[in-house]
Amino acid sequence: MAVQKTYSMIKPDGVRNGHVGAIIDRFERAGLKIERMEMGMVTNAQAEANYAEHKGKPFYAGLISYITSGPVVKMVISGEGAVAKVRSLMGATNPADATPGTIRGDFGLVMDENVIHGSDSPESAEREIGIFFD
């Protein structure tokens, strides 16, 4: 497997509930490197660009409102197979289905506030890094 870069974001509920350090520790213990990290707010333009594929779906407006509701931690993460490794560490999208020991399994409460986002492919990672980092 090749060294990849991926994008991950600790969402407002993860920041609000004090899980930032534990999540970063999991990435580092898994052999991943945090290349760039920034805490800040997601703008409406960034949110709309990131979630463009969901535009028109019933949950879209709530998703945009939620992701812009509080500070997030945006990260560029690299390592062997980083995209798949981050996705595995995150767990299932719905925390109710996430295995204990995964980020969402341990810290997620509900589908609408599921603690973390991670790119689903190298192509998505490249696009998302461009949205959130110059």
Instruction: Please pick, among 117, 118, 119, 128, the residue that the annotation labels catalytic.
Output: 117
| Residue 117 known to be catalytic | yes
CA distances from 77 to 60, 64, 132 (A): 26, 24, 13
104 CA to centre of own chain: 11
Which residues are tagged catalytic? 117
